[in-house]
Structure 1
């Protein structure tokens, strides 16, 4: 249970969360430390300002002026006790905006009020307070960078996770494709030898009197096996696409399935008025697609009902819709319909629709999906093939 839960993606996600959490806490620690240091610097700067005003000797004045000039990072606005701004004692702000924008200082003051409490300084002569000034200050560039660093870190980690997941998915798909191709080639290879042998035995039987009807039926089955072997061989390699009349191709497959479906199944095929509707396909593989969809429809109807095949001529696409009047598909099963191994039948590998999707989308660059389904009423599969 724990091993299933702790898969690669989960561990990666937990590591990313741990990194981001640690970064946020450490950034907050640094931010508090910098904030305390900056407040201390502002207090020293204020004391230097007081000394400049009240200095009685040149040495004290020079030292205070030097300390005051060293603040080149923290923006400060001086106001009186009623928050009236003293423009002459505002430091580390945009001097051009102070001259051109009459509201600039007031906006910055409002901003600073949200960032820090003001430092209130009474000016006294003897025991008498002659004035009370307030000093509002904002965050330095360093403080702002520390505050935004966790967000940047979160974005970087998020991108890292996305790239890693995409890479893993790509690697998985590549492995899966290699597995499909290998299985298909091996299947075609394994079928090739007995099919060739069976064809030889058919020729031997043909020379024996009284076996004519038997030979005909056996030959049909051998040809069918040869077709299956050819299909698997084409899946194992990049198939050759050729311009083909889709109407004729689909009609032939419908006729083939009609003979094997029984008299309780009605087949309806609707097509454009023009008798030719072409697209680039691999005929053997495309026949497999239509066959799989028709077999799927037959299984869903359990021996009676109607299968409707509609062909549409779109401007850039050839549309094929296969509709049955069967039992439909439950909504909970819709995401799994094209996944390997999924089947609602008692027998079967659950690979028919998976192969169908692979043939349509990977080899023919088309699209297949369930257009409509409702329990007890039926299902419509839709294929979209690009013209040319």
Structure 2
């Protein structure tokens, strides 16, 4: 279990979490230091205002004026002792102040949530005072928002890395599939050609008349299989065909090779023809794989129904069997290479089927329904191509 989690994705996510966590902590540390410094600056600014307001005319106000004028980034709003806004404010959007009557009141509410006011008592009796509410400088806001920006950047980095890895993996997998298929077609080609030659020889030998037709069928079958493997890796030429005729041919073909205790049914909703762009050899391969799997799942008896329906945008083909069904734990794995519940087999049939539908026909195939002990429905979707 631990080894399954110890991979490059987990390591990458762990490093990203450390980077983001460290950045957030340090950014908050800096933001808090800036906030403390800004509070001191506002206190100094208020004290400078007090000095300017209360000092005699002959006093030297250079330092107070300098401190008062140096605040160019911390927004401040002055109110009286009753929290009524005066005309004295600093570092706010003057255009919004003029155009929006509620702008100052909105900012005042915001500043009240951030800090307690700094109070300048003017007279004790009667009590009069100015209160100074202040907000965050642009620098403090930028420092606080910086971790969010970095989090987005790190997330994008992880996404791009994962996509690149998946693309590389798919590319290598495609090369493996293509190489295996081409080699299989090549290896089959030589003995098939030789068998065709021997059939011609047998035709000249008396007493082989009943054998030759069956041999021809088998050799033609081998040629079809070779042709199917040869088309893997290259873009096949799609042709407009009647889907119902193709399905009827495959149902009849499998029916002859199945037990008489298996019932086959093709439901076309009364339509004699539904046209679609397909590669006939590869499409037949898909249907053959589904029907073979259905027969294996029923173990020699049951019912197989093929239902075809069309819509303006797509054609759907449902292949339903009354077999043993697929458990929920295995549904997500049925199209993965090497997965099989059979005692024999490589677990490549449904993987090739998925590839043929998605890569060559721009369609899809998936499990629409399955229940253990009741059966399974595979759905094929063919997108109509204008």
Q: TM-score range by the shorter chain?
A: over 0.9
The C-alpha deviation readout for 1:175-195, integer Å capped at 9, x for no partner, is 211211111111111111121
Structure 2 counterpart of 1:291: 288
Alignment check: 8 A CA contact 2:50 2:120 kept: no
- Between 194-203 and 130-139, report the one with greater CA deviation: 130-139
The C-alpha deviation readout for 1:19-63, integer Å capped at 9, x for no partner, is 211110111111012112211211221121111112235462233
Distance 1:323 1:106 in 2: 68
The C-alpha deviation readout for 1:275-298, integer Å capped at 9, x for no partner, is 322211111111111110110110
Structure 2 counterpart of 1:166: 163
The C-alpha deviation readout for 1:353-382, integer Å capped at 9, x for no partner, is 111111111101112122222222211112
Q: Secondary structure at the match of 2:133?
A: strand
Q: Unmatched 5+ residue regions in structure 2? A: none
Question: Is 1:42 the equivalent of 2:39?
Answer: no
Structure 1 counterpart of 2:113: 114
Alignment check: 8 A CA contact 1:122 1:129 kept: no
Structure 2 counterpart of 1:215: 212
Distance 1:250 1:100 in 2: 73
- Between 147-156 and 251-260, report the one with greater CA deviation: 147-156
Alignment check: 8 A CA contact 2:112 2:133 kept: yes
Equivalent pairs, count: 385
The C-alpha deviation readout for 1:130-160, integer Å capped at 9, x for no partner, is 7543322110111111111111111121122
Alignment check: 8 A CA contact 1:288 1:356 kept: yes
Q: Tell me the CA shift for residue 265 of structure 1.
A: 0.8
Distance 2:65 2:146 in 1: 34
Structure 2 counterpart of 1:93: 92
- Output aligned runs, 1:24-173, within 5 Å: 24-58=24-58, 60-85=60-85, 87-123=86-122, 131-173=128-170
TM normalised by structure 1 equals: 0.92
Question: Is 1:311 the equivalent of 2:308?
Answer: yes
Alignment check: 8 A CA contact 1:119 1:136 kept: yes
The correspondence for 1:197, drawn from 160, 183, 194, is: 194
Distance 1:316 1:78 in 2: 66
Q: Secondary structure at the match of 1:344?
A: coil
Distance 1:371 1:103 in 2: 58
TM normalised by structure 2 equals: 0.92
